[in-house]
Amino acid sequence: MDIEVSPALSPGITPPQRIELGDLLLRRWAPADLIPRFEAITASFDHLHQWMDWAAHPITLEQQREFDAAMGASWPSASGSFNYGIFDTAGTVLGAIGIHDRVGPRMLEIGYWCHVDHTGRGVITRSAAELTRIALHLPGVDHVEIHCDAANTRSAAVAERLGYRLERIAPRPKLAPAESGQGMWWVKTAR
Ligand SMILES: CC(C)(COP(=O)(O)OP(=O)(O)OC[C@H]1O[C@@H](n2cnc3c(N)ncnc32)[C@H](O)[C@@H]1OP(=O)(O)O)[C@@H](O)C(=O)NCCC(=O)NCCS
């Protein structure tokens, strides 16, 4: 059963829907991104499958339509997520990143994945750095967290590279094949 947590953000307080970051563009997913996102996930399936619970099986267009429906017309989604696509200047989907208001008062969580062809060049590190900065400037927020499995060294390296502090390692459900069942909670504070 999900534990209900109080949101960190008051109604109407949101991060921007579009963030220009040099040669990267982070923007709220649009309905027209359905096929490019589906193709990016499909191309990256083996890599995502190891770590992402939602990639337990090859994804279908129908599931991606459901993701669009769940994001809905609201910003954030009904579940409190601000989901962005990450694009290059040609409009290619490089990955995805989200701010999730689901970890409790004064705290937001950031999650991400990268297209397998675009890893290793800082796309996620740069995007997460900017979203961390933005999140920590939102009224009512003084902590941002990144959660990953302890075996997910690439994800942990992003948090560490950005100056997040490893607050704890503790058991958590193993939801994807490469996970160890030990979770890492990385935290960055406003001061
Ligand atoms: C986790 C994941 C997003 C990390 O991707 P990544 O490619 O390692 O991260 P980045 O895109 O930030 O790339 C970092 C690399 O770019 C380099 N880099 C190059 N230019 C850079 C720049 N301007 N800024 C920062 N890093 C830069 C870094 O030095 C680092 O190099 P390294 O691979 O030699 O250590 C990716 O492995 C992934 O999608 N995994 C599957 C999904 C997943 O696990 N998601 C997280 C769940 S918790």
Mean pLDDT, consecutive 10-residue stretches, the chain (191 aa), reads 78 97 97 97 98 95 93 89 97 98 96 98 98 98 98 98 98 97 97 72
pLDDT at position 70 is 87
For residue 60, give its domain range: 18-189
Ligand 1 centroid to 24 CA: how many Å? 14
- 8 within some domain: no
Residues making up the chain, counted from first to last: 191
Closest to 115 (Cα-Cα) out of 125, 127, 123: 123
User: Residue 119: which CATH number?
Assistant: 3.40.630.30
Give me the pLDDT at residue 1, please. Answer: 39
Amino acid present at 31: P
Determine, yes or no, domain membership for 2.
no
Q: How far is the CA of 139 from the centre of ligand 1 (A)?
A: 29
Total number of domains constituting the chain: 1
- Residue 101 sits at the vertex; the CA angle it makes with 95 and 107, to the nearest 5 degrees, is 110
pLDDT of residue 75: 95
123 lines ligand 1 (CB under 6 A): yes
Cα–Cα nearest to 7, from 78, 102, 74, 79: 102
**Inside any domain, residue 126:** yes
Q: Look at residue 3 in the predicted model and tell me its pLDDT.
A: 55
